[in-house]
Amino acid sequence: MNATIALLPGDGIGPEVISAAERVLRSVATRFGHDFTIASHLIGGMALRAGHPPLPNETREACLAADAVLLGAVGDPAFDTGSSEGRPETALLQLRQALGVFANLRPARVWPGLENGGAFKPERVAGVDMLIVRELIGGIYYGEPRGNDGQSAFNTMRYTRSEIERVAEVAFQSAGDRRGLVTSVDKANVLETSRLWREVVTTVGERYANVTLEHQYVDSCSLLLASSPKQFDVVLSGNLFGDILSDEAGAVVGSLGLLPSASIGGRAGLFEPVHGSAPSIAGQNIANPIGAIASVAMLLRHGLQAVKEADAVEQAISSALSEGCRTSDLVTDQSVTAMSGSAMAEEIVSRIS
């Protein structure tokens, strides 16, 4: 297989975790006889510091020409007081829209050996394996009009029937390959957009006789995600609610640093760990690279249709964790010594077979 992969290390811990992910990609290429053309490009705060807009034209064109895009993180406190157009995060919104990736897949599972790895009781989280399907290029993040005059501010939450229908199809198809349950999340008791959401999702669900559909208000869902997470299979939500719920899922499974994502449906898939740029720990080699490495597995599976290669990466992650490899965010026993991010990456690379 020949494939072109655009790397966007970005800000904060982004370059560290993408360096680890690139090692995994190159190991997979060697092990399975593939030819990956891999090149890095500026985005976010790093682009701004170099005198470019958050998403330089060169980066946009490279991503549009690639077979898949792997992103680290965007976000730099130095630009937090700037206009929306001059903030690093604008690059991510623009890139998602340019690629047309409307469905964001965020799996969250408790890896073997990490049942005691978080704040929740092991019996509550053991066996958790859910997939959050988040609509990605609509809703309040993109709705117009929007504005802030210093005295008042407003945003517009807007969804069309077709936008809801296409992401719902992804959720039901995914559930058909899993345990056959879709939990659709909305706020239909107060929001008109959520009433349309519920109506359209219900209609799509009628086409999938093998999948059960349930509806949850977002506040109720967030409570159940913490109190009874094993009940969830596929969680379908809009842009804002999905962003929030997937971070909560990170706490359930032990660390946000474990969570990957795949944004699909457009010209090329965009793959990235769910975590942010975490500037407070950048440059210390302590960031957990597993979210980025698991995003490589999703890139292989969803972006390049390389299923056995994706399985090999996930099995390597599982092996490393089950044998006790831990970065600092996963250490709950003070007798366990945390390893560096690069050491965790090496442990995973050594297990790819």
Instruction: Give the tens place of pLDDT for each residue, 94-117.
Output: 999 999 999 999 999 999 889 887
Distance CA 44, CA 53 (A): 8
Query: Residue 80's pLDDT is what?
Result: 85
Do 109 and 156 lie in a common domain? no
Residue 141 among the catalytic residues: yes
Query: Residue 149's pLDDT is what?
Result: 92
Token pair, residue 139, equals 């809703």
Catalytic residue among 67, 186, 233, 243: 243
Residue 159 among the catalytic residues: no
Do 75 and 111 lie in a common domain? yes
Query: Residue 334's pLDDT is what?
Result: 78
Which residue in 84, 77, 71 sits closest to 40, CA to CA?
71
Mean pLDDT of 36-45: 98
Task: Compute the mean pLDDT over every residue in the chain, rounded to the nearest whole number.
Answer: 95
Do 235 and 332 lie in a common domain? no
Total domains present in the chain:
2
Do 311 and 247 lie in a common domain? no
Residue 76 among the catalytic residues: no
Distance CA 293, CA 19 (A): 10
Q: Give how far the C-alpha of residue 189 lies from the chain's centroid of Cα atoms, to the nearest Å.
A: 28
Residue 329 among the catalytic residues: no
Token pair, residue 223, equals 């409570």
Query: Which of 185, 219, 253 represents a domain boundary (last residue)?
Result: 253
Do 203 and 144 lie in a common domain? yes
- Tokens 């010594």 correspond to 337
Token pair, residue 129, equals 């394996």
Query: Which of 200, 220, 253 represents a domain boundary (last residue)?
Result: 253
Do 157 and 241 lie in a common domain? yes
Catalytic residue among 186, 187, 208, 329: 187
Mean pLDDT of 145-171: 97
Look at residue 350 and tell me whether its pLDDT is greater than 80.
Answer: yes
Do 212 and 264 lie in a common domain? no
Q: How confident is the model at residue 85 (pLDDT cuts 50, 70, 90)?
A: confident
Catalytic residue among 129, 217, 230, 247: 247
Q: Give how far the C-alpha of residue 301 lies from the chain's centroid of Cα atoms, to the nearest Å.
A: 14
Mean pLDDT of 160-177: 98
Residue 230 among the catalytic residues: no
Do 158 and 93 lie in a common domain? no
Question: Which residues have C-beta within 8 Å of that of residue 113, sequence separation ≥ 6?
Answer: 321, 322, 323, 324
Mean pLDDT of 130-138: 97
Q: What is the pTM of this model?
A: 0.94
Query: Residue 333's pLDDT is what?
Result: 77
Look at residue 82 and tell me whether its pLDDT is greater than 70.
Answer: no
Catalytic residue among 67, 141, 186, 233: 141
Catalytic residue among 80, 121, 219, 311: 219
Look at residue 161 and tell me whether its pLDDT is greater than 70.
Answer: yes
Query: Which of 235, 253, 271 represents a domain boundary (last residue)?
Result: 253
Look at residue 84 and tell me whether its pLDDT is greater than 80.
Answer: no
Do 128 and 248 lie in a common domain? yes
Mean pLDDT of 25-48: 97
Do 71 and 155 lie in a common domain? no
Instruction: Give the tens place of pLDDT for each residue, 227-285.
Output: 999 999 999 999 999 999 999 998 899 899 999 999 999 999 999 999 999 999 999 99
Categorise residue 127: left if φ over 0, alpha if ψ from -120 to 50, beta otherwise: left
Residue 175, domain CATH: 3.40.718.10
Do 263 and 114 lie in a common domain? yes
Q: Which domain holds residue 212?
A: 121-253
Query: Residue 81's pLDDT is what?
Result: 76
Distance CA 259, CA 284 (A): 20
Do 154 and 110 lie in a common domain? no
Instruction: Give the tens place of pLDDT for each residue, 200-234.
Output: 999 999 999 999 999 999 999 999 999 999 999 99
